[in-house]
A and B are shown apart, each in its own frame.
Chain A
């Protein structure tokens, strides 16, 4: 492999990975100088990062499809809250936990499909439609939970979704992480190799051209948003586990922006036609590592926000320079 090819890889698919490596190296070195007694990459911190990443990453996986199709979904933060309170409430009402999980997943997929349906029906920009449903879903979440946190008795397979499996010492290996990786593999394969996946990129690259080629624009869009909704519901279940078997109507505020940022850092283009599921996962890992690292080196919260913002801007600038 010559220099040019390596350069192309670093500018292309490997760019987010290089960024992640850079973040890790910076914090490790900084930590070694400032805090020789606690390593940055400790088991505790890794499991914290894994937990956070599972939630953001799950959303980013679904959002990748939306962004590749030239759309955007601002409602996922609210939908995360809605799904987790639905899960908690159904479980609280005494139903079978599996039924509760099914109900949450169904609500997520249906709410996502509704986004897609509204976008194609009203012929409005996805930004506007999902801005509306963002409020609607948040309102529904508050309605379902009577504006209170809903606590439920969850069985261990739900409550410990994000806990490392007891028998193994590896901090990463919680069921949640496996689920995210599995979902990413599946969606990545579908986007790359299926007819639907090609249609997604075609719609994102040039909707008019795709329409003239007979690509089913409506069903493609509806399915894409339904996938995003389904992934959000999964993230909602993780969030429920993360809060200690509670569904809170106020969780996920601003989460949509984190998810979108993860996709963009991972190489997704907001002008459509491009998006990498694994890139988005790396983007999500980068965001959470950054946050965890800032806590580790005791950067105050305001500075941490500035740093995160700067990273997102740098990633978008990189995206623009790649798109020419």
Chain B
């Protein structure tokens, strides 16, 4: 049997980096193929080539036995190949229906054929098991998993034959990932060939039929999902077996450094009380929209505070808003890298050091050699020592960009470090590494508050776990006092 979609000997070079080296891949109809690989392995590059956003240097592709050479994303779509990115392209101001039909509008006499739109939208949504979603709801009001559902429904309306998903679950909580995985399976059941990129290896067995591993631009292994263990996959990803989770360094919590009382925002958070000690790592679990990000943003003063107080150390309470937290020694790694987490088009050096330039200044001018040494040390802290300081941030892979963002906030050396999804997009090998650095940071007498989508990671890496639901902090306990099921239940949305 010949595959629906095949990739032959694709090679792509960026300057000195060989991003893809003779990659060949088959994707079959009705099956989900996982594409795995460490950060910078070349997954996104391959996907951009499949989707027509980038041209390969050499190699060929074929779809349904014909040669496939997309010159642009539009022509890829016309061939039935649809790429859905980590943040699906949803227009917040448009309704679900308009979003589903975006770019494939049907018209009658030049006017949008609304009844046909409604019909196609509901049909596509119910084929995915979401027939009850209101087509008139606004795109901006949808949660991240629902945005994926809408984007996948759009692929169905386009009659896509190949759908590529780049890390759709990297920002989703444990429960929400299940929804998206179920939809992906539904999509394959419609006869679509699915290529699915993920860093979560447990998903391979749960939701995919076969897998391929990219390492340094080459496919190094592939196989059937049913007969492969997570340990095998880890071996293929890194080229070696990894050790177990490192033992946690013992930390003794010191005095309280962050005191939050009755903190409320316009919508979320709602009446949150919280105390974090020096040397403590506090995890916040919750589903999307539970208010974790809002809580962190309100603490530092990036979002408006409606009520309550925030106190850092023994100092006076922070004034509301205007980011007073930054000056008081609080740093935030924001959720969205694109909008506020990095300086796009600037170099790695600038991105890392911008958080604390005064450290290298004499009379307002920078000491270049100390600046470079400082940036190098910060990169070492996030397992990114091999990154060039003068590389443009835009040329790094998603996981590397995340490490640079982490390096920046660690370099700021705050008393209280607020991290929103710190390990988003990081590969399996790097995640424990980063957790170890965070533990070392806390052990120096700093406090860390981090949100996470994986309840297992939080239970393993934090000292205390708080669960949020509908803007409220439900419960805060030492991790030993939680069970996985309890945490999931506390975070689950009320039956509505």
Contact = CB atoms under 8 A, between A and B. Distances in A.
B343 A206 contact: yes
B345 A198 contact: no
A139 B408 CA distance: 47
Point out which of A198, A205, A212, A269 has the most chain B C-beta atoms below 10 A from its C-beta.
A212
A199 B364 CA distance: 11
A211 interface: yes
Nearest to B302: A212
Contacts, number: 81
B474 interface: no
Contacts of A198: 350, 353-354, 357, 366
B394 A324 contact: yes
B366 A214 contact: no
Interface string A193-205: 1111011011001
A323 B345 contact: yes
Nearest to B393: A205
B388 to A, nearest CB: 14
A173 to B, nearest CB: 30
Contact of B366 (A193, A210, A211): A193
Interface in B163-179: none
Interface of A: 4, 193-196, 198-199, 201-202, 205-206, 208-215, 269, 273-274, 323-324
Contacts of B332: 212
A199 B300 CA distance: 21
B343 A194 contact: no
Contact of A195 (B323, B326, B364, B412): B364
Given A201-B346, A273-B343, A273-B346, A210 B365 contact: no
B327 interface: yes
B226 interface: no
B471 to A, nearest CB: 22
Interface SS of chain A: helix, strand, loop or mixed?
helix
B343 A212 contact: no
B408 A213 contact: yes
5 nearest A-B residue pairs (beta carbon):
A208-B340, A205-B343, A214-B326, A213-B355, A195-B357
Nearest to A209: B340
A154 B323 CA distance: 51
Interface in B381-410: 394, 408
A53 B408 CA distance: 42
Given A194-B366, A212-B323, 10 more contacts: A194-B361, A195-B365, A201-B346, A206-B339, A206-B340, A209-B342, A211-B323, A212-B326, A213-B408, A215-B354
Contacts of A206: 339-340, 342-344
A208 B405 CA distance: 14
A189 to B, nearest CB: 8
A209 B323 CA distance: 12
B341 interface: yes
Contacts of A202: 343, 346, 350, 354
Given A193-B366, A194-B364, A214 B412 contact: yes
A100 B357 CA distance: 39
B111 interface: no
Interface string B337-379: 0011111111000100111111001001110100000000000
Contacts of B145: none
A194 B361 CA distance: 8
B334 interface: yes
Contacts of B353: 198
A213 B326 contact: yes
Nearest to B408: A213
Contact of A212 (B340, B350, B361): B340
Contacts of B358: 195
Contacts of B350: 198, 201-202, 205
B357 to A, nearest CB: 5
Contacts of A213: 326, 354-356, 408, 412
A198 B300 CA distance: 23
Contacts of B345: 205, 269, 273-274, 323
